[in-house]
Amino acid sequence: MRKKRVYLDYAAATPLDRRVAKSMRPFESEKFANPASVHNEGIVARRVVAQARTEVARLLNVRSEEIIFTGGGTEADNLAITGIVEKAREKGIAAPHIITTNIEHPAILETCRRVTKWGGSVTFVPVQASGLVDPKHIAAALKPETVLVSVQLVNSEIGIIQPLRAIATVIAEYKATHGDTLSAFSELGYPYFHTDASQAPNYLDISFQKYGVDLMTLDGVKIYGPKGIGVLAIKRQVAIAPIIVGGGQERGMRAGTENVPAIVGFAAALTRTVQLREKETERLRGLQKYFIQNLKENFPRNVSIINDDCQKSVPNNVTICVRNGQEAELLVVRLDALGIACSAGSACTNLSTATYSYVIEALETASLSVLNDCKSSSIRFSFGRGTTRRDLDLTLIALRSIIK
């Protein structure tokens, strides 16, 4: 008999919820028309897209015309950053400035770096040893050319929850005190505040008002929804240019035939995960505590918990540093051989670089620790709807056989 595998990589990808899948089916082979078509079949498609848009907007507490469906979270991040910078340059700001942190997702970091090729500039604010960004450091980086501040709500690697509300406050204070000395472009409302909230909806409220943001990225693949679909919610006062043109879809902000089944699925997935949020948060918080406690008892010396303070992170993430001289990549491979699927860093960095984690490195740099050995030996365990206490017990057994 084939042994059951333990999947603890829900932060990288979630399975499509079967109820969500069912909601998508009618729009694949039957009601398949192009929502841009004039005929009845097109009207049906247009209507379900409008319904899905309204549903998503309600959950974010924005207007439905403020929801832009994209091909995924990465595209949404690209649209937010490139789109705002492009528009700012059109408006005559030759060197737009962006503020972000040094532990953002690669979709943010690389897009920001690219902006510097186009005459823009970026401040990568270092986070503290806890992984949290200090709003005072954001405040210190603000300047008249700043068009955008982008801070991820929940970090992809370590699950830490950033103080978005406090950051929104320092941005608002800057606008209030510098309004008259700001550039001629202050009537455009710069700087805007964007958050990549892809890792958040399963566990946190995602209403715009709670965080005071102007733009928010969401991703279907993280919320038990379909792949290839994301959202960029954009408050209507935000001046932004599209990155994909030709066809006028999504109010001209994202051209291309609407992916009707995926849009329907995204709305269904977001609705369902919001319904399950409280119960799942409580359940996973229990598993998180259980796992951390057992890790501490089992490995008092050679394992440390990166996100030890549960209150500062989402309940589905336990990231550990293994101090036995083995590289994270090897640890993940050995755990995999024992039936445990977990991750070294976030999946999106595996392909490009990483035998080490730039996120953990940022934490170590901030901590002034002399050890600095966790950046290449940290493992992320991320839980989800399928995770049970038994999964964690099996993981602890596997870890015991690897970590002497």
Does position 201 interact with a copy of itself (CB under 8 A)? The reply is no
**Contact range with a copy of itself by CB under 8 A, out of 92-100, 202-210, 340-348, 367-375:** 340-348
Contacts 24+ apart (CB under 8 A), 367-373: 367/129, 368/129, 369/129, 373/321, 373/323
Q: Which of 111, 152, 273, 313 binds a copy of itself (CB under 8 A)?
A: 111
Does position 40 interact with a copy of itself (CB under 8 A)? The reply is yes
Q: With CB under 8 A, what is the number of residues at the site for a copy of itself?
A: 80
**Contact range with a copy of itself by CB under 8 A, out of 58-66, 317-325, 332-340, 362-370:** 332-340
Smallest gap from residue 348 Cβ to a copy of itself (A): 4
Distance CA 385, CA 237 (A): 37
Smallest gap from residue 368 Cβ to a copy of itself (A): 30
Smallest gap from residue 189 Cβ to a copy of itself (A): 23
Smallest gap from residue 58 Cβ to a copy of itself (A): 23
Does position 71 interact with a copy of itself (CB under 8 A)? The reply is yes
Q: 389-402 vs 328-337: helix axis angle to the nearest 10?
A: 120
Distance CA 152, CA 383 (A): 20
Instruction: Confirm if 196 and 146 have CB atoms less than 8 A apart.
Output: no
Strands (E), 4-152: 6-7, 67-70, 97-101, 121-125, 146-150
| Residue 182 φ then ψ, to 5° | -70, 170
Distance CA 354, CA 333 (A): 14
Q: Which of 95, 292, 303, 341 binds a copy of itself (CB under 8 A)?
A: 341
Q: Which of 10/203 has CB closer to a copy of itself?
A: 10
Q: Which of 103/171 has CB closer to a copy of itself?
A: 103
**345-364: which residues touch a copy of itself (CB under 8 A)?**
347-352
Smallest gap from residue 231 Cβ to a copy of itself (A): 14
Q: Cβ–Cβ contacts within 10 Å for residue 164, how many?
A: 23
Smallest gap from residue 75 Cβ to a copy of itself (A): 5
**Contact range with a copy of itself by CB under 8 A, out of 105-113, 122-130, 167-175, 305-313:** 105-113
- Catalytic-labelled residue, pool 112, 310, 321, 348: 348
Site string for a copy of itself, 291-330 (x = CB under 8 A): --------------------------------------x-
Q: Which of 127/344 has CB closer to a copy of itself?
A: 344
Q: Which of 204, 253, 318, 332 binds a copy of itself (CB under 8 A)?
A: 332
Does position 78 interact with a copy of itself (CB under 8 A)? The reply is yes
**221-250: which residues touch a copy of itself (CB under 8 A)?**
221, 226-229, 243-249
**Contact range with a copy of itself by CB under 8 A, out of 59-67, 181-189, 257-265, 391-399:** 257-265
What is each CA distance from 22 to 33, 201, 269, 298, 358, in whole angstroms?
18, 21, 11, 43, 39
Smallest gap from residue 258 Cβ to a copy of itself (A): 8
Q: Residue written as tokens 């890792």?
A: 199
Distance CA 3, CA 273 (A): 29
Distance CA 175, CA 164 (A): 16
Tokens of 179: 């309004």
Does position 256 interact with a copy of itself (CB under 8 A)? The reply is yes
What is each CA distance from 340 to 124, 332, 354, in whole angstroms?
35, 8, 20
Entry field: residues in the chain = 404
Q: Is 348 a catalytic residue?
A: yes
Does position 343 interact with a copy of itself (CB under 8 A)? The reply is yes
Distance CA 59, CA 273 (A): 11
Q: Cβ–Cβ contacts within 10 Å for residue 20, how many?
A: 24
Which phi-psi region, left, alpha or beta, contains residue 248 (left: φ > 0; alpha: ψ -120 to 50)?
Answer: left
Does position 336 interact with a copy of itself (CB under 8 A)? The reply is yes
Smallest gap from residue 391 Cβ to a copy of itself (A): 14
**42-61: which residues touch a copy of itself (CB under 8 A)?**
42
Q: Which of 168/332 has CB closer to a copy of itself?
A: 332
Instruction: Confirm if 62 and 233 have CB atoms less than 8 A apart.
Output: yes
Does position 202 interact with a copy of itself (CB under 8 A)? The reply is no
Instruction: Confirm if 306 and 363 have CB atoms less than 8 A apart.
Output: yes
Instruction: Please give the positions annotated as active site.
Output: 348
